[in-house]
Amino acid sequence: MASTLSLSSSLRYFLPPTRTSHAPVIPLFASPRLRPRSIKPLRANLKTPISALGSSSPSASSTAGMAGQNKKKAEVFDSEEQLAVQLAKYTADLSDKFSKERGAFTVVLSGGSLIKALRKLCEAPYLDSVEWGKWHVLWVDERVVPKDHEDSNYKLALDGFLSKSRESNAVFRVKNSLLYLIGIVGCLGDVIVPIPAGNVYAINDALSAEGAADDYETCLKHLVTNGVLATSKATGFPKFDLMLLGMGPDGHVASLFPGHPLVNEKEKWVTFIKDSPKPPPERITFTFPVINSSAYIAMVVNGAGKSGAVQTALGNSENSATLPVQLVAPEDELTWFLDKEAASKL
């Protein structure tokens, strides 16, 4: 594991390792447990300071004492491919940590380019080594559209990560007006990606935006009651183990947009918006008290189009306005995963 460095002096840049061959595709339950390949960092001078830097891959032992420290780290990768490689290792390490500590791993997804960045989790060694049976997957926000609509974050995750195939077979049931995914098996060549029964929680798209938000909050409360979802001792809000978030070019996270009143919501767990500045207009979203009660958050950003917001959030910018992404502050650790284009203005 790389040592922790001060962000006032350096960022971490990752160069792709030399590869001579590709690992063969191995069916699930037949492959050996493989260890992830390490990636050596190349350090570069930082134009503007951020706050603190450390390794992006916390192990069960190294993260045991991080609670309450509210660390912020940023890592810059030479390519989106290497970002995806390191994000997979980071996520798998946290999965191992919480699966051992709590017997469950609660993961929150967003939409956009994040889903593509998760693709390495569907490959060796993680396909076999991750305890998928302990995962519970939810969404930080969702568009109030049918689940098969092209704007659905659920559909995006289903096609690009949860099943990795449009040939997947999914079975659903309805309980307490909430649509649950009972089981899903997708095929990518000889690779089988299993998602456990009842562990993927989509919104009820038959309800209004307000109804869907209330229903999803009820779902979270059931998970707390059942012991699947922890609660923050500091805030009393649900405490997810890991949120995997993206950021818009305007600095919005989830469906919390610059200047919108929902940014200041302090009581609700899940709320709704009918006037989103980005279509579609109707959405549900977690609030900042829930987002910031999380243990770990990975902020995954790539592309030059988001470099301005990255500069505002992490560097010295003349923009005096506070962007929603600047309000993200989980209880344990925030790690920014940036490609070099997104970090180009730092």
- The pLDDT, as a whole number, for residue 198 is 85
How far is the C-alpha of 273 from the C-alpha of 267, rounded, in Å?
16
Identify the DSSP state of 35: P
- The pLDDT, as a whole number, for residue 107 is 98
Q: Which two tokens stand for residue 300?
A: 């995954």
CB 312 within 8 A of CB 251: yes
- The pLDDT, as a whole number, for residue 71 is 87
Those residues of the chain that have pLDDT short of 50 are 1-69, 165-173, 180-192
- The pLDDT, as a whole number, for residue 163 is 79
Hey, how many other C-beta atoms are within 10 angstroms of the C-beta on 196? Answer: 17
CB 99 within 8 A of CB 144: no
Q: Looking at the whole model, is its pTM more than 0.85? A: no
Asked if residue 58 has a cis previous peptide bond (ω within 30° of 0), the answer is no
- Domains of the chain, residue spans: 71-339
Q: Provide the CATH topology of domain 71-339.
A: Rossmann fold (3.40.50)
How far is the C-alpha of 267 from the C-alpha of 281, rounded, in Å?
23
How far is the C-alpha of 107 from the C-alpha of 77, rounded, in Å?
23
Identify the DSSP state of 228: S
- Residue in 327, 259, 247, 255 with CA at minimum distance from that of residue 286: 255
- The pLDDT, as a whole number, for residue 12 is 45
pLDDT tens per residue, range 60-79: 333 323 333 468 999 999 99
- Residue 18's identity, in one-letter code, is T
| Three-state SS at 291 | helix
- The pLDDT, as a whole number, for residue 70 is 64
- The pLDDT, as a whole number, for residue 171 is 44
